[in-house]
Amino acid sequence: MTELKRNEAARRVEELRREIERHNYRYYVMDAPVVSDAEFDRMVAELAALEKAYPDLVTPSSPTQRVGGAPREGFTSARHFTPMLSLANAFGADELRDFDRRVRGALPGEKTAYVVEPKIDGLAVSLTYRHGEFVRGATRGDGETGEDITPNLRTVRSLPLRLLRDAPPLVEVRGEAYMSKDAFMKLNERREEAGEPPFANPRNAAAGSLRQLDPGITANRKLDLFVYGVGYAEGVAAASHHETLAWLAAQGFRINEQFRLFEDIKQAVDYCLTWQQKRFDLPYTIDGMVVKLDSLEQQQRLGTTLKSPRWAIAFKFPPEEAVTTLKEILVSVGRTGVLTPTAVFRPVHLAGTTVIRATLHNEDLIREKDIRIGDRIVVHKAGDVIPEVVRSMPETRTGRETVFTMPRNCPVCGAGTVREEEEVALRCPNISCPARLKESLLHFASRNAMDIRGLGRALVEQLVEKGMVESVADVYTLSEDALMRLERMGPKSAANVVGEIEASKKRDLSRLIFALGIRHVGERAGKVLAGRFGTLERLMSVTEEELTAVPEIGPKIAASMRAFFAEPQNRAVITRLINAGVNIKSTAAAAAARPLAGKVFVLTGALTGLTRDEAAARIELLGGRVASGVSRRTDYVVVGENPGSKLDKARELGVAVLDENDLRTLLAPRT
């Protein structure tokens, strides 16, 4: 009897894993999902519930294990089966042709072909699969020995935890883990919001995310993976590099779709040069192309030097830099009052676009780099995305350049600027500064906050300048009549905006928290806080200790929250938002408040920490049901001291058995 229920669960677990893997592959490797996110989440939730009831069914390669697991003390080292070499570089077409001459010189009279593929700018990884299961992931390290980062790599969704077909006993796959330009920009936005230093480029972001002792952090970073080769294998039949790539793709790996096979070097060179131009169109950064001799047997005969194979070479793109002239440094005031200097220069073509400005971050940086107005400057794009001033060129100065200093007064409202202790930033302290108000309104209305379409910069400028809006709460007092009197506002657009404003009242609490623009409180913190505390009133009354007790909420966020809510002006704005009918409840919290929905419990034996009635009340509060007798429909039997026959019955039916501690965990508040 017991076996049967367990067997049934085991069968369902396997079925769910196959399905989840298939959808995961469709979504992250093929980029062509066939089910909704909700349906996918439901399958993962069912699998997680089954694994919780039958912990012995959990395996390291179960899709539920992608979340990260517990932080570790340090990394252990991982010896590579064969050394992870690096590539020799070719700068320019001539050096590629030299490479070809060397290759053909060593293979006289033989036919040769090359595969050319993008050189991904990420972090080299080694992935070991035993009998088709992902068992070890490692960094390159010194080439002989790397660091074991298996739990971190498990969180990368495009990495298959199990191979798809005819898995060999042992295969070590090599590839590049990276972060897309888009994920990199979003991550940096989040970091700046949280007061953390941004990453310089996607490669650093990928490396920083993978080399985390806490894989839970890695799981929150959008990392991706392309594989490009096999380091060591028993039983992989491929005669060429392009066949290896096909084999890898058939096993469920993501390979780069831009690879091409060429019979002669001229076409290979052309292909490299084409990508030198087109590279900025890709959603990820590449720093060159890799040219590889296709035949594995020929590769073998050519062999390697100590550092790199003789059969492959990296065609490196020249770094994208441009020289221009710095015309002026503008100072803008952000939502939190921070003054940010921006370099405005003569237009230059850079990494696929025309660029005219770049942030200079703060005064210290301008001083450090000795950047003066009128200077010739070198500009580039960090990770092909973010324009930056690399350096000035003092050797070209004429003497007419001027040293820049930050203004003593806010360039918008004239208030004296202040520099807070331990901060590099200069601030406008006036909370009614029109610049701050405009930015606060734009943030409040932005897509991921209250999502009020139509409340864009042009409208916000007018509303603030005409004195129609003095805080975000005033947004909810705007009428069609009032809006219609503004420039570029017909009756139709006015009605639309009012409709959007009305609709925004229903947004979830998590968005409202984010929309308030509290320092260090980003979208993620908004979600976590809404989920944990449920209502805005509750959130306004919690202590700093209660805040820091929430996972992911650190002292910086907690202090900032308290300071924000302690400010009478902010409290007044919130009261007005509430009176206007803005929703201050969390729907996620409501769902999270019933985590035991549909679960049937049976209690037996004496509990020590709470009475059976109390336990039953708590279970019901969280959406569960308490039944008196054990049946096949029972989800959990909770066993106290001196349990009766119900425990035997549970064992007989294979129902999950919990002790008081397990119950406590289930009943504990979650976020």
| Site residues, ligand IVH (CB under 6 A) | 85-87, 117, 119-120, 124, 176, 228-229, 290, 309, 312
Q: Is there a contact between 276 and 317 (Cβ–Cβ < 8 Å)?
A: yes
Rounded CA-CA distance 258/613 in Å is 64
Please, which residue, 85 or 657, has the CB nearer to ligand IVH? 85
Please, which residue, 86 or 274, has the CB nearer to ligand IVH? 86
Please, which residue, 233 or 589, has the CB nearer to ligand IVH? 233
Question: What is the pairing mode between strands 260-262 and 145-147?
Answer: unpaired
Shortest distance in whole angstroms from residue 385 CB to ligand IVH: 19
Shortest distance in whole angstroms from residue 331 CB to ligand IVH: 41
Identify the residue whose tokens are 């794009």: 381
Please, which residue, 312 or 425, has the CB nearer to ligand IVH? 312
Rounded CA-CA distance 467/456 in Å is 17
Shortest distance in whole angstroms from residue 113 CB to ligand IVH: 16
Rounded CA-CA distance 655/53 in Å is 8
Shortest distance in whole angstroms from residue 37 CB to ligand IVH: 31
Please, which residue, 13 or 87, has the CB nearer to ligand IVH? 87
Rounded CA-CA distance 222/284 in Å is 12
The three-point CA angle 158-164-166 to 5° equals: 145
Rounded CA-CA distance 639/335 in Å is 55
Shortest distance in whole angstroms from residue 87 CB to ligand IVH: 4
Both tokens of 372, joined, read 């003066």
Q: Name the residue type at position 433.
A: C
Distant-in-sequence, close-in-space partners of 240: CB < 8 Å, separation ≥ 6: 113, 294, 295, 296
Q: Is there a contact between 550 and 538 (Cβ–Cβ < 8 Å)?
A: no
Q: Name the residue type at position 163.
A: L
Q: Is there a contact between 197 and 208 (Cβ–Cβ < 8 Å)?
A: no
**Which residue's Cβ lies closest to ligand IVH?**
124
Shortest distance in whole angstroms from residue 120 CB to ligand IVH: 4
Rounded CA-CA distance 24/353 in Å is 35
Please, which residue, 290 or 469, has the CB nearer to ligand IVH? 290
Please, which residue, 174 or 527, has the CB nearer to ligand IVH? 174
Q: Is there a contact between 510 and 501 (Cβ–Cβ < 8 Å)?
A: no
Please, which residue, 87 or 156, has the CB nearer to ligand IVH? 87
Q: What is the dihedral of CA 486, 491, 492, 495, to 10 degrees?
A: 80
SS3 call for 96:
helix
Shortest distance in whole angstroms from residue 601 CB to ligand IVH: 52
Active site residue 278: no
Buried b (16+ CB within 10 A) or exposed e, 245-277: bebbeebbbbbbeebeebeebeebbebbbebbe
Rounded CA-CA distance 662/288 in Å is 54
Shortest distance in whole angstroms from residue 83 CB to ligand IVH: 9
| Residue 587 parent element (H or E) | helix 587-592
Both tokens of 153, joined, read 């790599």
Phi, psi of 87 (to 5 degrees): -105, 145
Both tokens of 249, joined, read 């793709």
Q: Any idea what DSSP says for residue 394?
A: G
Shortest distance in whole angstroms from residue 449 CB to ligand IVH: 38
Distant-in-sequence, close-in-space partners of 538: CB < 8 Å, separation ≥ 6: none
Please, which residue, 87 or 516, has the CB nearer to ligand IVH? 87
Question: Could you say which of 119, 292, 316, 527 is catalytic?
Answer: 119
Within 505-567, residue ranges assigned H as helices are 509-515, 523-533, 536-541, 544-548, 555-566
Please, which residue, 62 or 152, has the CB nearer to ligand IVH? 152
Rounded CA-CA distance 86/454 in Å is 52
Please, which residue, 87 or 268, has the CB nearer to ligand IVH? 87
Shortest distance in whole angstroms from residue 145 CB to ligand IVH: 15
Rounded CA-CA distance 225/222 in Å is 10
Shortest distance in whole angstroms from residue 33 CB to ligand IVH: 26
The beta strand positions in 49-95, using DSSP E, are 77-79, 89-90
Q: Is there a contact between 509 and 520 (Cβ–Cβ < 8 Å)?
A: no
Tell me the torsion sign for CA atoms 248, 249, 253, 255. positive
Active site residues per annotation: 119
